[in-house]
Structure 1
């Protein structure tokens, strides 16, 4: 499965908007937006805390 689809599907399953997901992950809205729109050239997951 493509990373962008996984992120978007998970966000929707959690009933969050991009801004809420960004806040929960301590990331910027623009990062979530890039991830969901397949601009993953700069994806840096080691900064995400689960």
Structure 2
């Protein structure tokens, strides 16, 4: 098993943490916008419903 340099380990850690953070941000925004979209659709649906009456 070849010995890896500390710099390479550092880059690997940075790379994995970057991807992990990126995925968290994407998931957060997807969830956030999904809830916003649901609220928006509820408002739209209520407006349509009230207009029918």
**Common fold: TM-score over 0.5:** no
Larger RCO (CA within 8 A; separation ≥ 6): 1
Q: Which has the larger radius of gyration?
A: 2
More helix by share: 2
TM-score computed with the length of structure 2 as normaliser: 0.27
